[in-house]
Amino acid sequence: MLIREFDGREKSDLKKNLKRLWKLGAEEYNTQYFDINKGGELVVKEGHYQYNIINLVKKYGTPTEVFFPYILENRVRDMIDLFNAYIKISGYKGRFYYHYVMKVNQNKEFVLPAIAEGAHIEVSSANELYLVKRMIEQDKFNRRIRVTCNGPKTEQYIQLIEELRSKGLIVIPIIENHEELERLKKFKGEVGVRVNLDIKIQAHWDKKFNHFGFSEDELLRIGKIRNLSILHYHISTQIEKIDGFVKPLKRAINLYAKLKEKNPGLDTIDFGGGVGVPYEKKRKLYSLKNLVNQMIKAAKKESDKLGIKHPNLISEWGSYVAAPAQISIFKVQAEKPITGKADTKWYFIDGSFITNLTDTWSVRRQKWEIIPANHMGAGRMQKVWLAGSTCDSDDRYTNSGSYLMLPKFTEDVTELYLVVMDTGAYQDALGNHHCLLSSPAKVICQNGEVKLARRRETADEIGKQFGW
Ligand SMILES: *Cc1c(COP(=O)(O)O)cnc(C)c1O
């Protein structure tokens, strides 16, 4: 049903209420670019331009991922500006570097805009580093870019690191264990080490045992590491409170001061990822401004207390920049009563929580904000559980055993499209081919233009991957 045509004030109140209902236009939820048009459809704004999601659906079908590079660009630029501003205000003497985390989204359309905004790069495998090699060969970036290399260093990975270094790239392996330390003893460039800080914080991962990096004691025992310039840690993802950043940073600075006695070239702390994304638009998280301010203040205070030169700082905030830059669109194919739950219905979507939104069920047990792309002003609503298109009983979304409130199918509502927000981080690389469902189409919206970046996979293409 259309938004009823009230005149004047009443109409703008109705729109305001609908925006509140669907949590749109709110910076604290990363929905400041999202709005509703007069027809009750979702639009995404770029300056004064707007993309109508239903028009995209008509052209490209579903399931489709829509990527907005300008959202990613704005987030990268604002973050770098924010760090530099607080560094200046507080008289902090170290420099700030942002490293785009390849693992979060390796699509070329994501990586290139981030670099264009001034990001350096962090890779987690030989194959991700291989993409960096490809970019160099195509002369895609200036050689002063810095590339940090995490993850287990296979021989192939180390050889690629050495090859790129010999071509003049600043490529910095982050050493995780004694074997890597031994293998990289003669490495000519800078190296980093990863520490497993002895600290617990509130976050998505609060694993008791961490298998990454050296313990603090071990690092102190090792003492001197040739060409050491970076002390790195990465505690968790979706860190819940600012304290979860400030405490580890202080602890790392204390360790850094001790390591610096034997490693005078050590000049940088890389504090990894972990900034939370308000995936569920239920409660606000901390603001980035407040977070950055408190981190810089703490870094300055702690370094001054210890009488050391302020370290340079690296952030690898991945989900923060990438997640809100993409949405995924699905069509509701069918509805069905839920046996034993009379007030709620199944809505079947033409994609899958297992193959397209894999985090729902696997790595991060992700919760999503799911809203309609049309009929946003529908008069009648329905409690819903969503079912995906694989034959797997886990392919569903119940909002943690609760329900979603979505437009009810009526005479006016015969076609319904759903948008899953914040799907820009991790989902593409985690996606899979369970039941041989196709990967979605990928569409890019920038400068008022809409481009198809990747077609939806065909049966033939999938068949090939399985030897057919
Ligand atoms: C995954 C990862 C990140 C990114 O984490 P987010 O929570 O997405 O910000 C950063 N650094 C390292 C080493 C990682 O493994």
Query: What's the burial of 52, exposed, middle or buried (CB within 10 Å: 0-12/13-18/19+)?
Result: middle
333 falls within a domain: yes
Same domain, 190 and 265: yes
224 falls within a domain: yes
Which residues make Cβ contacts (< 8 Å) with residue 114, sequence separation at least 6? 72, 73, 76, 100, 321
Of 105, 316, 426, 427, best ligand 1 pocket probe by most atoms within 8 Å of the beta carbon: 316
The rounded Å distance from CA 320 to ligand 1 centre is 10
Question: Mean pLDDT, the chain, as a whole number?
Answer: 94
Please name the residue whose Cα sits nearest to atom 5 of ligand 1.
Answer: 273
| Tokens 């003669």, located at residue | 186
395 falls within a domain: yes
Q: What are phi and psi of 288, to 5 degrees?
A: -65, -35
Same domain, 28 and 51: yes
- The pLDDT of residue 85 is 98
- The pLDDT of residue 364 is 75
What gap in Å lies between CA 367 and CA 279, rounded to an integer?
A: 7
Same domain, 106 and 158: yes
What gap in Å lies between CA 117 and CA 101, rounded to an integer?
A: 14
- The pLDDT of residue 6 is 44
- The pLDDT of residue 12 is 80
Same domain, 211 and 343: no
262 falls within a domain: yes
Tell me: pLDDT of 211 over 90.
no
3 falls within a domain: no
The rounded Å distance from CA 315 to ligand 1 centre is 9
380 falls within a domain: yes
Sign of CA dihedral 434, 435, 436, 439: negative
Which residues make Cβ contacts (< 8 Å) with residue 186, sequence separation at least 6? none
Same domain, 15 and 150: no
Q: Which atom of ligand 1 is least distant from the CA of 238? A: 7
The rounded Å distance from CA 102 to ligand 1 centre is 9
Same domain, 312 and 378: no
Q: What is the pLDDT of residues 359-387, one digit of tens each?
A: 898 877 789 999 999 999 999 999 999 99
Same domain, 328 and 415: yes
Same domain, 201 and 157: yes
Q: pTM (2 decimals)?
A: 0.95
The rounded Å distance from CA 323 to ligand 1 centre is 13
**Contact in structure between 199 and 235 (CB atoms under 8 Å):** yes
Q: Taking the CB of residue 433, how many other CB atoms lie within 10 A of it?
A: 14
Q: Which atom of ligand 1 is least distant from the CA of 320? A: 9
Mean pLDDT of 164-177: 96
Q: Are strands 191-196 and 170-175 parallel, antiparallel or unpaired?
A: parallel
Domain containing 350: what range?
Answer: 8-62+324-465
Tell me: pLDDT of 4 over 70.
no
Q: Ligand 1 pocket, 281 CB below 6 A?
A: no
pLDDT band at 209 (very low <50, low <70, confident <90, very high): confident
2 falls within a domain: no
Same domain, 209 and 265: yes
Among 295, 316, 337, residue at a domain's last position = 316
Same domain, 271 and 343: no
Residue 258 corresponds to which amino acid?
A: K
Q: Ligand 1 pocket, 319 CB below 6 A?
A: yes
pLDDT band at 202 (very low <50, low <70, confident <90, very high): confident
- The pLDDT of residue 80 is 98
- The pLDDT of residue 1 is 41
Q: Ligand 1 pocket, 324 CB below 6 A?
A: no
Please name the residue whose Cα sits nearest to atom 2 of ligand 1.
Answer: 273
- The pLDDT of residue 9 is 61
Among 271, 292, 316, residue at a domain's last position = 316
Q: Ligand 1 pocket, 150 CB below 6 A?
A: yes
Among 316, 341, 372, residue at a domain's last position = 316
State the CATH number of the domain containing residue 152.
3.20.20.10
Instruction: Return the closest-CA partner of residue 415 out of 57, 67, 52.
Output: 57
Which residues make Cβ contacts (< 8 Å) with residue 267, sequence separation at least 6? 94, 229, 309, 311, 312
- The pLDDT of residue 210 is 78
DSSP β-bridge partners for residue 193: 175, 231
Q: What is the pLDDT of residues 39-52, one digit of tens each?
A: 999 999 999 999 99
- The pLDDT of residue 5 is 47
pLDDT band at 234 (very low <50, low <70, confident <90, very high): very high
The rounded Å distance from CA 18 to ligand 1 centre is 35
Q: Ligand 1 pocket, 317 CB below 6 A?
A: yes
Q: What is the pLDDT of residues 406-463, one digit of tens each?
A: 999 999 999 999 999 999 999 999 999 999 999 999 999 999 999 999 999 999 999 9
- The pLDDT of residue 207 is 67
Token pair in block for residue 210: 């961490």
| 65-78 core/surface letters (b: 16 or more CB in 10 A; e: else) | bbbbbbbbbbbbbe
How far does CA 111 lie from the centroid of its chain? 12
Which residues make Cβ contacts (< 8 Å) with residue 271, sequence separation at least 6? 233, 234, 245, 248, 249, 252, 295, 313, 314, 315, 316
Same domain, 331 and 229: no
Tell me: pLDDT of 75 over 60.
yes
Of 76, 97, 99, 101, best ligand 1 pocket probe by most atoms within 8 Å of the beta carbon: 101
Mean pLDDT of 18-33: 95
Instruction: Return the closest-CA partner of residue 141 out of 112, 170, 106.
Output: 112
- The pLDDT of residue 252 is 98
**Number of domains forming the structure of the chain:** 2
Same domain, 36 and 93: no
Q: What are phi and psi of 9, to 5 degrees?
A: -60, -45
Q: Ligand 1 pocket, 318 CB below 6 A?
A: yes
